[in-house]
Amino acid sequence: MRTYALKRGGSPLYLQIYEGIKADILSGAIPAGEKLPSKRALAEHLGVSKLTVETAYSMLLSEGYISSRERSGYFAEEASMPVPAREAAGAYPRGACTDSPGGSSRDIAASGSAPSEETGFPFSVWARLMRSVIMSGGGSLLSPAPTHGLRELREAIAGEILRERGVRVDPAQIVVGAGTEYFYSQIAQFLGPGLGWALEDPSYHKIAKSYRRSGAEVFPLKADAQGVIPAGLEASGAGVLHISPAHHYPMGTVMPIARRGELARWLEGSEERYIIEDEYDSEFSFMSRPVPSMQSMDRTGRVIYLNSFSRTLAPSLRMSYMLLPEGLLDAWDERMGFYSCAVPVYEQMALARFIHEGYYERHLRRMNRAFSRARRETAELFGASPASELFELLRQGPGLHFLLRLRRGDGGEALRSALAASGISAPLLSDMYIGEPPEDAFRTAVIGYSLDPERLMRGLNGAAALLS
Amino acid sequence: MRTYALKRGGSPLYLQIYEGIKADILSGAIPAGEKLPSKRALAEHLGVSKLTVETAYSMLLSEGYISSRERSGYFAEEASMPVPAREAAGAYPRGACTDSPGGSSRDIAASGSAPSEETGFPFSVWARLMRSVIMSGGGSLLSPAPTHGLRELREAIAGEILRERGVRVDPAQIVVGAGTEYFYSQIAQFLGPGLGWALEDPSYHKIAKSYRRSGAEVFPLKADAQGVIPAGLEASGAGVLHISPAHHYPMGTVMPIARRGELARWLEGSEERYIIEDEYDSEFSFMSRPVPSMQSMDRTGRVIYLNSFSRTLAPSLRMSYMLLPEGLLDAWDERMGFYSCAVPVYEQMALARFIHEGYYERHLRRMNRAFSRARRETAELFGASPASELFELLRQGPGLHFLLRLRRGDGGEALRSALAASGISAPLLSDMYIGEPPEDAFRTAVIGYSLDPERLMRGLNGAAALLS
């Protein structure tokens, strides 16, 4: 049996095992199709718990490095070929949610119940931290933050990335900003809109709008079940590709490793190409740990990574961060360094303490548990409901949203109105296309899970009654 | 004696008198050169207190509608001709301050002492309001704010504009944003950078940088003692003019009414012309009430007004607002309405209450008193100091900053280093030119007043010793 030298006291053991097997698959030391040892056997061989190996295998499965065959075990996949994404961990897209005017449709705003119920936002902790920060920070809280954001917050975010993903980043690479939308415009100013911006069609509507308003030409690209199709990208002549490989909105695609490799090769094709990796909800995307970002595996130094606290805490916070590759730091500071950080200083300080004191991790765990239950209960209730005769519930994966498809009929405005009249404000999938949407997109709504599944089901049944 | 029908219970009486006389001067009913009644006589005639008339005259003086001749009284000015700005209320430019990396050089960041001392920021009130808002706002604080910002805050700002200036604006015209810099980019996206952006040279360095990064061509315009010279504007072919007529940074120019009229005529010359009126510190600019904005007198509906809470509260708050002319509201919403408001919701709520409960007004009064004393003491100390042999203190008007000019010698880096070595981090006036600065700009530093004038003077004397 292949062995891996594990270093106690270093990074977590499951990460070391994951890294070891992944490296062997990528190098060909474990050829495609080879059966991996059983979890129990490998655990005994390495002298670790079965749970440790389970975690490592689960990560490899999530990313498509290995596959599982019932009653047979685990097998290495061909890393340079498209790999089927594993259902439970990825192939379920996660869809979308309500779209209020001025609001952000990727934000948590599930249908039916109030946002506070949805997010379990820890008001009293936040109020206490905010008060403590304002009273103790004194004069230092009155100067504008340095252009990258407060050092304390950038260190806390770096710690969180290490804890969540096992990736070590330098806080100097982190830039804090007033929401992801803010960064779209900033990045367009940084790279210059003339490069041409390619994005997957459909996609989150603000992405194309922001880039167009910034003066960029936008190229909508067709996608398949593995994400954006590289041939279309080459043909577009775009210099920048904006994607959400960890979990595409609204389709929910998790991009398998092979497709990522193809996009990486496109990136390597010219010095004037960039990828913007927009990871807006990875904290809720996987039952185990999230897959590594494309940026953490990139060798060109031209992948800019974005993430946000809108989904995990509250959209009203307007806080997000960007991870700049080291090679772009000087250019960023030269071109964009004159801007003040747009996030209030004491809010940054409060979030730094919220993360540092462990509240953020506990909040994420609580949220994940609550939404797991909501998803399970919604699926059970739906199966026995009158709504299930008219609708299909698609992509009910581990995310915060699902797709609801009318089995037959016209859909469109009738579907939207019936949902709205039943208290569910949901966009149609067809709203999210830049080009011409396919027929079934007009029959598909993007709906946020509610932590009150019975209430949500009353709404869906109401809409079904109106439509039948 | 000319009479004015005053309406009790309407807008303040002094405003009605001011409006009446201004209208008569603009219409020619009071011809240029005509002597106005004495304050006492007009007060008796109208049945109001002498203070009421004094306030109205003071406003008319500030704006150049009338002039005062010693022992002779007050005389109407020619409103279509350049009018000398009144010394005490305007001709003093206010200069600049420290320029920290990533910070905003127009922000309050006076040399020497900590920002908290400088601003007297009411920490305990702010902490209490923030806590109360977070605890009582509940779920409504978790959704992103509507694109224009929270209604409560926009109403509070409209109330403040009415109180401060006597101008009634519709809260629907107000847009809240994450700092003035943020609006520069937003407005460039809105109008499209292709129009060409004209600004006064010198000017606040971030203005030209933001517009250039947004893809605009920037035209630096020469200025005289009354502000930007209209002939250069016409010749530039620019479609947008960015100015701070209430108080130009760093020159401190207060633009007299005649020059404003010339710029208004430029604006009327084409439907494709816009003025951005950037009023970053008007709350500290005048001993009496600030002059009316150009926007409030505009007839074209193409003046966009900006103001900020950075100077009056704290630069770290990152809060500013824009006042859109009614005619541009629909276009703004169509092009820019998809953006979420970039300011955290509970911060907006806290500021709304801060204004509504009278804290803001009290804070402004306290700040104005404190800086009046600091200015007076600085001037007194300077007059008797060794530094006064080497330096001239210019533009020591009612603002937060002054210009310090080396009487002879090279200046430049030697001046900057001597100041820095003495604890005063100040930019040189020459830093703020887009084009070639004049010789004396290299000998002139832009310095913020300190609420500890003795400390500031120790710094200035130290710098003088190093340079002599």
Model confidence pLDDT, tens digit, residues B331-344: 999 999 999 999 99
CB nearest A131 (choices: B107, B127, B335): B127
Coil vs helix vs strand at A105: coil
The answer to whether the CB of A106 falls within 8 A of the CB of A96 is yes
Closest chain B residue to A114, measured at CA:
B139
Per-residue confidence (pLDDT) for residue A262, from 0 to 100: 95
All residues at 6 or more sequence positions from A31 whose CB lies less than 8 Å from its CB, including other chains:
A76
What value does the CA radius of gyration of chain B take, rounded to a whole number of Å?
22
Nearest to B98, CA basis, from B399, B387, B401 = B401
**Longest alpha-carbon distance in chain B:** 65
User: Which residues from chain B sit within 8 angstroms of residue A124, using beta carbons?
Assistant: 135
Closest chain B residue to A119, measured at CA:
B142
Per-residue confidence (pLDDT) for residue A290, from 0 to 100: 57
CA distance linking residue B128 with residue B161, whole number of Å = 25
The answer to whether the CB of B414 falls within 8 A of the CB of B425 is no
Going through A27-112 in order, the beta strands assigned E by DSSP cover: 66-69, 73-76
CA distance linking residue A203 with residue A188, whole number of Å = 18
User: Which residues from chain A sit within 8 angstroms of residue B117, using beta carbons?
Assistant: 139
Topology at the third CATH level for domain A373-467: Aspartate Aminotransferase, domain 1 (3.90.1150)
DSSP state of A325: -
**A15-to-A6, A21, A358, B48 alpha-carbon distances in Å:** 10, 10, 21, 82
Q: Is the pLDDT of residue B174 over 60?
A: yes
Extract the tokens encoding B358: 């009278």
**pLDDT of A261-293, one tens digit each?**
999 999 999 999 999 999 877 666 544 445 678
Nearest to A382, CA basis, from A463, A460, A464 = A460
Q: Please state, as a whole number, how many other Cβ atoms lie within 10 Å of the Cβ of residue B117.
A: 18
Whether B394 has its CB under 8 Å from any CB of chain A: the answer is no
CA distance linking residue B176 with residue B164, whole number of Å = 19
Whether A104 has its CB under 8 Å from any CB of chain B: the answer is yes
Nearest to A393, CA basis, from A410, A409, A376 = A376
Is the Cβ pair A134, B123 closer than 8 Å?
Answer: yes
The residues in A 213-232 lying below 8 A from B, measured between CB atoms, are 213-215
Per-residue confidence (pLDDT) for residue B283, from 0 to 100: 66
Whether B145 has its CB under 8 Å from any CB of chain A: the answer is yes
Closest chain B residue to A129, measured at CA:
B131
Whether B131 has its CB under 8 Å from any CB of chain A: the answer is yes
Extract the tokens encoding B352: 């709304």
Extract the tokens encoding A386: 């009158």
DSSP state of B64: T
Per-residue confidence (pLDDT) for residue B94, from 0 to 100: 27
Q: Is the pLDDT of residue B59 over 80?
A: no
Per-residue confidence (pLDDT) for residue B425, from 0 to 100: 87
Per-residue confidence (pLDDT) for residue B266, from 0 to 100: 97
CB nearest A340 (choices: B102, B126, B343): B102
Beta bridge partners of A447: A402
pLDDT (average), residues B76-89: 40
Whether B171 has its CB under 8 Å from any CB of chain A: the answer is no
- Same CATH fold assignment for domains A117-360 and A373-467: no
Closest chain B residue to A343, measured at CA:
B318
Closest chain A residue to B177, measured at CA:
A342
Helix (H) or strand (E) holding B218: strand B218-221
Going through A144-280 in order, the beta strands assigned E by DSSP cover: 174-177, 197-200, 218-221, 223-224, 227-228, 240-243, 274-279
Whether A207 has its CB under 8 Å from any CB of chain B: the answer is no
Span between the terminal Cα atoms of chain A, in Å: 60
Side chain identity at residue B326, one-letter code: E
Per-residue confidence (pLDDT) for residue A286, from 0 to 100: 43
Nearest to A173, CA basis, from A361, A335, A333 = A333
Closest chain B residue to A141, measured at CA:
B316
pLDDT confidence band for B22 (50 / 70 / 90): confident
Per-residue confidence (pLDDT) for residue B112, from 0 to 100: 35
Report the sign of the C-alpha dihedral through residues A289, A291, A295, A299, in that order.
positive
Q: What ranges in A254-344 are assigned the alpha helix state H?
A: 257-268, 294-297, 326-336
Whether B345 has its CB under 8 Å from any CB of chain A: the answer is yes
**Could you tell me whether strands A73-76 and A303-308 are parallel, antiparallel, or unpaired per DSSP bridges?**
unpaired
Span between the terminal Cα atoms of chain B, in Å: 61
Q: What distance in Å separates residue A128's CA from the closest CA in chain B?
A: 7
CA distance linking residue A303 with residue A324, whole number of Å = 8
Whether A298 has its CB under 8 Å from any CB of chain B: the answer is no
CA distance linking residue A78 with residue B436, whole number of Å = 63
CA distance linking residue B321 with residue B341, whole number of Å = 11
**pLDDT of B98-135, one tens digit each?**
333 333 346 433 333 333 445 578 888 888 999 898 88
Extract the tokens encoding B174: 């107000």
The answer to whether the CB of B243 falls within 8 A of the CB of B200 is yes
Instruction: Give the length of chain A.
Output: 468
Extract the tokens encoding B131: 């806590």
All residues at 6 or more sequence positions from B182 whose CB lies less than 8 Å from its CB, including other chains:
A178, A182, A342, B318, B320, B342
**pLDDT of B294-320, one tens digit each?**
998 899 999 999 999 887 888 788 899
**pLDDT of A103-117, one tens digit each?**
334 643 333 333 344
**What's chain B's average pLDDT?**
83
Is the Cβ pair A185, B181 closer than 8 Å?
Answer: no
User: Which residues from chain A sit within 8 angstroms of residue B138, using beta carbons?
Assistant: 114, 116, 123
Side chain identity at residue B90, one-letter code: G
User: Which residues from chain B sit within 8 angstroms of residue A128, using beta carbons?
Assistant: 131
Extract the tokens encoding B449: 């007043």
Whether A146 has its CB under 8 Å from any CB of chain B: the answer is yes
Which of A180, A205, A339 is the mutation pick for testing B, counting most B CBs within 10 A?
Answer: A339
What is the CATH architecture assignment of A117-360?
Answer: 3-Layer(aba) Sandwich (3.40)
Is the Cβ pair A314, B141 closer than 8 Å?
Answer: yes
Q: Which residues of chain A have pLDDT under 70?
A: 62-64, 78-119, 137-139, 282-291, 395-398
Where do the domains of chain B lie? Answer: 13-79, 117-360, 373-467
Helix (H) or strand (E) holding B221: strand B218-221
Task: State yes or no: ipTM above 0.85.
Answer: no
The CATH code that applies to domain A13-79 is 1.10.10.10
pLDDT confidence band for B150 (50 / 70 / 90): very high
Q: What ranges in B384-449 are assigned the alpha helix state H?
A: 387-390, 413-421
Rounded to an integer, what is the distance from CA A139 to the centroid of its chain? 37
Residue with tokens 């670790």: A48
Q: What distance in Å separates residue B25's CA from the closest CA in chain A?
A: 44
Closest chain A residue to B109, measured at CA:
A143
CA distance linking residue B122 with residue B124, whole number of Å = 6
Whether B314 has its CB under 8 Å from any CB of chain A: the answer is yes
Task: Give pTM, 2 decimals.
Answer: 0.78
Q: Please state, as a whole number, how many other Cβ atoms lie within 10 Å of the Cβ of residue B80.
A: 14
The answer to whether the CB of B52 falls within 8 A of the CB of B17 is yes
User: Which residues from chain B sit within 8 angstroms of residue A340, using beta carbons?
Assistant: 102-104, 179, 181, 315, 318
**What's chain A's average pLDDT?**
83
Q: Is the pLDDT of residue B241 over 90?
A: yes
DSSP state of A433: -
pLDDT (average), residues B342-368: 90
Q: What distance in Å separates residue B335's CA from the closest CA in chain A?
A: 8
CA count, 13 A, side-chain hemisphere, B61: 22
Per-residue confidence (pLDDT) for residue A104, from 0 to 100: 37
Q: What ranges in B198-325 are assigned the alpha helix state H?
A: 205-213, 230-236, 257-268, 294-297
Q: What phi-psi label fits residue A291: left (phi over 0), alpha (psi between -120 and 50 degrees) or beta?
A: beta
Instruction: Give the length of chain B.
Output: 468
Residue A198: phi and psi, rounded to 5, are -100, 135
The answer to whether the CB of A47 falls within 8 A of the CB of A40 is no
